[in-house]
Structure 1
């Protein structure tokens, strides 16, 4: 069946807006989490809350669908994503515990991530690395060097 949903500017930008609106408090909360709290215990509670919220969102948005039937469709990507999320959360928490500034640490993480994804996109998905993108990558690397405190 062909998807006939009209893409408007707002629903096109909505995922980016949601990411920024949730990532800003996420980074601040990671920064202010007390060092006396074990990161893994903290993440256990965090993911418990996530579980409740996501299950609630399923039932609010997927009226008439059977949760257990949907759960049976899950493949290796869901647990792999879970492992990635744990590693990402631990890395951010440890980064702040090592004394990184909120702004510098965040910029460093996202610039390095963007560079890595350009490489992955080019190698595995045959995405074109244009001269413009290459200049952008070089500028990102220069920016990381300029703001880095290492």
Structure 2
């Protein structure tokens, strides 16, 4: 059970600080300058954690195993963070902006799951998507 639960807790905790940081990014700083610092810190932390957790400690060997997903992941993360910074700069409340984007994401990922991964959507999930759509309309007003 713990192996199933701890990643959820990490995502919730990290997303909490993520949204606080995005909302607190100064208005007068260029978003991309801020993201340069963000990624320098992230790269340093990732490298330290690699050497702590990897039994072989050969970073170049690991780089040779990387495929297109790391590049797309990097592009997606920059777009995500740029979007969140500007979402909050546009005036969204932290309590609403994140909720709206995450509900929208959940609905899109249900469709992606069906189209790309051959997952099956149950009637319960379809009803949930409809309720989410109504909720998005209500919360965005």
Alignment of 1:11 with 2:3, yes or no, is yes
TM score, norm. by length of structure 2: 0.97
**Distance in 2 between residues matched to 1:125 and 1:134, nearest whole Å:** 17
Stretch of structure 1 that moved more, 39-48 or 26-35 = 26-35
Alignment of 1:129 with 2:127, yes or no, is no
Shift of residue 63, structure 1, vs aligned partner: 2.8
TM score, norm. by length of structure 1: 0.91
Bigger helix fraction: 2
Alignment of 1:146 with 2:141, yes or no, is no
3-state SS of 1:11 partner: helix
Shift of residue 38, structure 1, vs aligned partner: 0.6
**Distance in 1 between residues matched to 2:105 and 2:137, nearest whole Å:** 15
3-state SS of 2:34 partner: helix
Kindly report the root-mean-square deviation, in angstroms, between the aligned alpha carbons of the 2 structures. 0.8
Shift of residue 50, structure 1, vs aligned partner: 0.3
1:73 is matched with 65
Alignment of 1:59 with 2:55, yes or no, is no
**Structure 1 alignment gaps of length 5 or more:** 1-8
| Aligned residue among 37, 43, 58 for 2:35 | 43
**Distance in 2 between residues matched to 1:133 and 1:113, nearest whole Å:** 14
**Distance in 1 between residues matched to 2:88 and 2:96, nearest whole Å:** 10
Of structures 1 and 2, the larger Rg is shown by 1
3-state SS of 2:56 partner: coil
**Distance in 1 between residues matched to 2:31 and 2:68, nearest whole Å:** 26
Alignment of 1:113 with 2:105, yes or no, is yes
